[in-house]
Structure 1
Amino acid sequence: MSDGTTPLYMACQNGYVECAGLLLEAGASVSQARNNGVTPLSMACHQGHLEVAKLLSSYGASRAATPFGTPEEVATEEGHADLAAWLVASRGWTPLAHLETLTAARATSLLRSGASLHEGEPTPLRRAAGGEGEAAALIRRAAAPWSPASHSLFPAAARARAALLVLSLYEIHERYHLDSAGSTNGIAARDFVTCVLRFAITRETE
């Protein structure tokens, strides 16, 4: 629209959380403001749409002040005490820490893209430690040492390194004609995967 209103802004204004979620999944800009500077999050806070605000925050929506104040100030001024309280409580959260909002697919996507388990206050891992639901379980699994079960939750660089090391083991196995257990000098191929890769592969692998 000529005033800069986007489909996401309209969905947030009207509290259409499912519609907003679909737009964000499709790549809508989470913090794109109207011409007057009002962002989707600011409008959601003005209208008191708590679940929409949570969704936007989980996608990293900016909480910077608009011409009408910060999202916290807008929610407080409009009398949305529950929303204002949630905004205060979640000030230090990264997108991965939004356990109550994240779907398993979104949590997996964030983990695979390299989202940190240890940034923010509280950190995603700290929130997941006693949390319920699929997102919390995925974060706890991603925090464990590398294993075949957690491989899919590691970033691309770490997954590639793991694949390269396994391929190297296979080539060694073929070159030195190891026995069916894949052992040489008392070390079995399965031990390489369970005991070596768990130390060699980290989420921060470049």
Structure 2
Amino acid sequence: MASQQGHLEIARLLLEAGAAIGQADEEGVTPLLAACHNGHLEVAKLLSSYGASRAATPFGTPEEAANRKGHADLAAWLVASRGWTPLAHLESLTAARATSLLRSGASLHEGEPTPLQRAAGGEGEAAAPIRRAAAPWSPASHSLFPAAARERAALLVLSLYEIHERHHLDSAGNTNGIAARDFVACVLRFAVTRETE
């Protein structure tokens, strides 16, 4: 009903609470099809950012529904966004949702255009964390990496700390004038990647 009536904030709250994005009603109408049939562009964008299927239903595809009902702007957006992954939907993502997608392993390089390509010149709250996540690992970007990469970083920090303790570095933690924390950050930026296995 939220999709059919164009209630964007209600749809957002339902999706944040885990509503089934592809659940069709008894006639086979999905939320995305309902939004497209009624010309609710912002709701369609939101549903798409959660990965709503654009596959055909008994009433055709969402794109066909938008065209059939004369919603040219919505139909054009559906065509333009065909290759987007959920992370590429910058206009619909909050910074918190972008961060959640990044932490769960969303790729910066999949889709056409990729989320990183869209964020490169993009404004809005979701573009900044995507750009930060594309940079090499650092303490400032640690929270934007997937769990496996964050675990690897923590393990490497502990390992490097043990090496530091064994070699009895000076009281400032220096080795040849390099502070231990700078050494750790320098090593980790090359050792920790988003795709860490």
Question: Fold-level match, TM-score > 0.5?
Answer: yes
The question of 1:143 aligning with 2:134 is answered yes
Match of 1:51, SS state, is helix
Match of 1:91, SS state, is coil
Looking at structure 2, the residues matched to 173 and 19 of structure 1 have their Cα atoms a distance apart, in angstroms, of 53
Looking at structure 2, the residues matched to 66 and 133 of structure 1 have their Cα atoms a distance apart, in angstroms, of 33
Corresponding position of 1:115:
106
Looking at structure 1, the residues matched to 132 and 51 of structure 2 have their Cα atoms a distance apart, in angstroms, of 23
Displacement after TM superposition at 1:78 (Å): 0.5
The question of 1:131 aligning with 2:122 is answered yes
Amino-acid identity (%): 86
The question of 1:106 aligning with 2:112 is answered no
The question of 1:158 aligning with 2:185 is answered no
The question of 1:167 aligning with 2:155 is answered no
Task: Provide Cα deviations, 1:63-113, integer angstroms capped at 9, x if missing partner.
Answer: 000111110000000111111010001000000000011001000000000
Displacement after TM superposition at 1:176 (Å): 2.5
User: Partner amino acid for 2:126?
Assistant: A
CA RMSD after TM alignment: 1.2
Looking at structure 2, the residues matched to 35 and 172 of structure 1 have their Cα atoms a distance apart, in angstroms, of 63
Displacement after TM superposition at 1:177 (Å): 2.0
What is the TM-score with the length of structure 1 in the denominator? 0.92
What is the TM-score with the length of structure 2 in the denominator? 0.96
Gaps of 5+ in 1: 1-9
Looking at structure 1, the residues matched to 120 and 163 of structure 2 have their Cα atoms a distance apart, in angstroms, of 40
Task: Provide Cα deviations, 1:35-73, integer angstroms capped at 9, x if missing partner.
Answer: 221100001001111110000000000000011111000
Looking at structure 2, the residues matched to 137 and 180 of structure 1 have their Cα atoms a distance apart, in angstroms, of 38
Corresponding position of 1:52:
43
Number of aligned pairs? 197
The question of 1:91 aligning with 2:82 is answered yes
Task: Provide Cα deviations, 1:107-144, integer angstroms capped at 9, x if missing partner.
Answer: 00000000000000000000001001221111000000
Corresponding position of 1:5:
none
Match of 2:175, SS state, is coil
Whether contact under 8 Å (2:160, 2:184) holds in the other structure is no
Displacement after TM superposition at 1:184 (Å): 3.5
Whether contact under 8 Å (2:115, 2:130) holds in the other structure is yes
Looking at structure 1, the residues matched to 162 and 87 of structure 2 have their Cα atoms a distance apart, in angstroms, of 38
Corresponding position of 1:192:
183
Looking at structure 2, the residues matched to 148 and 56 of structure 1 have their Cα atoms a distance apart, in angstroms, of 33
Displacement after TM superposition at 1:185 (Å): 5.5
User: Partner amino acid for 2:183?
Assistant: F
Match of 1:134, SS state, is coil
User: Partner amino acid for 1:30?
Assistant: I
Corresponding position of 1:12:
3
The question of 1:31 aligning with 2:34 is answered no
The question of 1:81 aligning with 2:72 is answered yes
Corresponding position of 1:67:
58
